[in-house]
Amino acid sequence: MRLEDFDYLLPEERIAQLPCEPRDASRLLVLDRGRDELEHKQFFNLPEYLRPGDTLVFNDTRVIPARLIGHKEQTGAKIEVFLLNRLTATDWEVLVKPGKKARPGTVIVFSEALRCEILDGTDFGGRVIRFQFDGVFEEILDQLGETPLPPYIKEQLTDKERYQTVYARERGSAAAPTAGLHFTQGLLEHLRQQGINLAFVTLHVGLGTFRPVQVEDITQHNMHKEYYTITPEAAELINATKQAGNRVIAVGTTSVRTLETAAVGGQVKSGSGWTSIFIYPGCQFQVVDAIITNFHLPKSTLLMLISAFAGREKVLAAYREAVARQYRFFSFGDAMLII
């Protein structure tokens, strides 16, 4: 499989710059793998495709203000630090820009209350840093940090909560699990009343999700690790759903990766850890029966995951249809249900 096999043409005007209002008014392209059919709906039509006993699995991670702007203590030069993975109470894996002169021992000052020292490099070109702070770190970060939006979004977001899901709880992501942005509290309550189970797992989205593939042979791509947690309660609900012959429907590729990482013999094992799972065509799914997802970037690992689930040709044909019908793409774009 070559990287070019996962390319498609997307006019720039199809990239959504602002979220849809209300959240569940976005469009929904339904791909039925068995019947090889496409349907065009709105996201609030989702309950029509779900059955009592099905379980939706959401990623409840919350995006942190991960971009910090500071200056080098030694020279005063401006420097940007982008938080990726928290390693300890003080230590993080980060990206630093400009990075060439960000060597171990460099001290970066963000305010009187926050500074950090570069400890080491990483295998992906980032750095390991140690923060020193006066006060509560999360409160300082909320004051000084900026919520990062993907580089293809040029518009300013007036309401920062629109880049959070309505069920976001666990702080730690550098990017939102965007398939979940379409859900409203009203829609969630409607699903509960319909007899649909709601399970929540956590995967803190880091570099692994949006790092570009830079090798022609995609099997040689290495994913960056991301931290996940599955509670015993969530694992029990998901496993009971499978045992009853009902469907587990993953909301977003991060939920897919979390479930398939924790799958042992078709059962989900509770616990926490780091995952660098890379799902591409040929991989076998143990847990996930259907996926709710957004439209993904050409040549991305996310498009490869969806292609593994539904078939590359079917996915690319659906994307061509979505472009022709002027669907909105990427983080703030429309959604897709694959059943």
Q: Phi and psi at residue 143, in whole multiples of 5°?
A: -75, -40
Q: State how far the Cα of 334 lies from the Cα of 187, in Å rounded to an integer.
A: 16
Contact 103, 116 (CB under 8 A): no
Tally of residues, the chain? 339
Structure tokens at 177: 């699990």
Query: Nearest-CA neighbor of 305 among 339, 336, 335, 279?
Result: 279
Q: What is the pLDDT of residue 312?
A: 97
Structure tokens at 169: 């709880």
Q: What is the pLDDT of residue 110?
A: 98
Helix (H, G, I), strand (E, B) or coil at 49: helix
Q: What is the pLDDT of residue 210?
A: 65
Contact 270, 154 (CB under 8 A): no
Extents of the domains making up the chain: 3-63+158-338, 67-146
Structure tokens at 259: 């479930």
Q: Phi and psi at residue 245, in whole multiples of 5°?
A: 80, 15
Structure tokens at 248: 């587990």
Q: What is the 3-state secondary structure (H, E, C) of 183-227?
A: CCHHHHHHHHHCCCEEEEEEECCCHHHHCCCCCCEHHHCCCCCEE
Q: Provide the angle, in degrees to the nearest 10, between the axes of the packed helices 301-310 and 312-324.
A: 110
Say whether 67-146 and 3-63+158-338 share the same fold: no
CATH 2.40.10.240 fits 67-146, yes or no: yes
User: Which residues, 6+ apart, have CB-to-CB distance to 126 below 8 Å?
Assistant: 84, 93, 94, 95, 96, 99, 207
First vs last C-alpha separation in the chain: 24
Q: State how far the Cα of 232 lies from the Cα of 244, in Å rounded to an integer.
A: 18
Helix (H, G, I), strand (E, B) or coil at 116: strand
Q: State how far the Cα of 247 lies from the Cα of 287, in Å rounded to an integer.
A: 9
What's 3-63+158-338's CATH class? alpha beta
Contact 110, 68 (CB under 8 A): yes
Q: What is the pLDDT of residue 124?
A: 82
Q: Which amino acid would we find at residue 34? A: G
CA distances to 80, 133, 281 from 284, rounded to whole Å, are: 40, 46, 8
Which string of b and e fits 94-115 if b means at least 16 CB within 10 Å?
A: bbbeebeebeeebebebeeebb
Instruction: Give the residue ranges of the chain where pLDDT is below 50.
Output: none
Q: Phi and psi at residue 6, in whole multiples of 5°?
A: -115, 25
Counting beta carbons within 10 angstroms of the beta carbon of residue 1, is it exposed (0 to 12), middle (13 to 18) or buried (19 or more)?
Answer: middle
Q: What is the pLDDT of residue 256?
A: 98
In tens, the pLDDT along 12-58 reads: 999 999 999 999 999 999 999 988 899 999 999 999 999 999 999 99
82 alpha-carbon distance from chain centroid: 16
Structure tokens at 50: 């779900």
Query: Nearest-CA neighbor of 268 among 245, 293, 249, 240?
Result: 240
DSSP run (H or E) holding 260: helix 253-261
In tens, the pLDDT along 200-240 reads: 999 999 865 667 899 999 999 999 889 999 999 999 999 99
Q: What is the pLDDT of residue 229?
A: 98
Longest dimension (CA), the chain: 64
